[in-house]
Amino acid sequence: MEEYPTGFRFYPTEEELISFYLHNQLLGLKQDKIHRVIPVLHIFDTEPWNLPQLAGELCREDKEQWFFFAPMQEREARGGRPSRSMTTGYWKATGSPGYVYSSENKVIGVKKSMVFYVGKAPKGRKTQWKLNEYRAIELSPTNPNSSSSNISIPKLKREYTLCRVYVVSGTSRAFDRRPLEAVAGETTIQGGGCAAGTGSGSGGGGCGDVPSSGVVGGDAGSSNQWEVASLEEPMWDWDQLNWL
């Protein structure tokens, strides 16, 4: 394996994930290189805390996020709903699916967010394991024999999805890798009109908040430490996007 500088990591944008990685996977191109960072895996058959060790060889040591291509399930190919449950828990949609845009402000895909629950639905315990599921959009002519064939309609590509798995720390310390308990009693420093501390959420002090992408230390197999406050129920599911 190649040697990379300290701090080097795979950190693609959503546009790169869909326009390059997912599209090449759907077309069967550049497989050897792409699978070194994003392997193919039936992700919904595996507990999230076991996924990091199954990540691509160039991303296996990453502590923040991991990427996988999830092939279409057989039940989905037959027209059914995909299964996101396993013996230890299940993935549940949160919020609403949203579009992913290119740098030219064109819709290139759809993103759906999920959170992992330990236990049986609907009484499982929410964890801090989250997943973004990306689907590419294919533009196809409305009617090849029509004079208006230049008019295209969007259609979701379902052969593969690209999944980004990550852990939510609940703090704004995106680049501070210390466990939360190590800084629980840290004193907040006031001065200069802004505060530097370890507050969490939108009320956390600081000269500039950064996205929550840190990782909670400890054993990922322990479900208790991944519990967080409840999230809103999904407004709709993929089946309601069939018009695409």
218: CB partners within 8 A, 6+ apart? 179, 225
Q: Which residue has the tokens 């279409």?
A: 72
| Alpha carbon distance 204, 172 (integer Å) | 7
| Alpha carbon distance 124, 91 (integer Å) | 10
Please check whether residue 42 is in contact with residue 70, taking contact to mean a CB–CB distance below 8 angstroms: yes
Can you tell me the mean pLDDT for 170-193? Answer: 57
Q: What is the pLDDT of residues 153-176, one digit of tens each?
A: 667 888 999 999 999 866 555 556
Residue 221 is predicted with a pLDDT of: 44
Which of the pair, 39 or 168, is modelled with greater confidence? Answer: 39
What percent helix, strand, coil does the chain show, rounded to 5?
A: 15, 30, 55
Q: What is the pLDDT of residues 120-154, one digit of tens each?
A: 999 999 999 999 999 999 866 555 555 544 555 66
Residue 205 is predicted with a pLDDT of: 43
Residue 180, SS3? helix
| Alpha carbon distance 90, 81 (integer Å) | 14
Which residue from 129, 133, 149 is spatially nearest to 141, judged by alpha carbons?
149
Measured torsion, CA atoms of residues 41, 47, 48, 51, in degrees rounded to the nearest 10 = -40
Q: Which residue has the tokens 């501390």?
A: 197
Q: Produce one character per residue of 18-39: b if its CB has 16 or more CB atoms within 10 Å, e if not.
A: bbebbbebbeeeeeeebeebbb
Q: What residues pair up with 114 in beta bridges, in sequence order?
A: 93, 131
Please check whether residue 113 is in contact with residue 131, taking contact to mean a CB–CB distance below 8 angstroms: yes
The reply to whether the predicted model has a pTM over 0.75 is no
SS3 string of 113-166? EEEEEECCCCCCEEEEEEEEEEEEEEEEECCCCCCCCCCEEEEECCCEEEEEEE
| Alpha carbon distance 133, 184 (integer Å) | 33
Residue 212 is predicted with a pLDDT of: 38
Q: What is the pLDDT of residues 189-240, one digit of tens each?
A: 444 444 444 444 444 444 444 343 333 333 444 444 444 433 334 444 444 4
pLDDT at residue 60 is higher than 70:
yes
Residue 93 Cα distances to 7, 63, 90, 98, 199, angstroms? 32, 24, 10, 12, 28
Give the pairing of strands 107-118 and 125-141. antiparallel
Residue 210 is predicted with a pLDDT of: 39
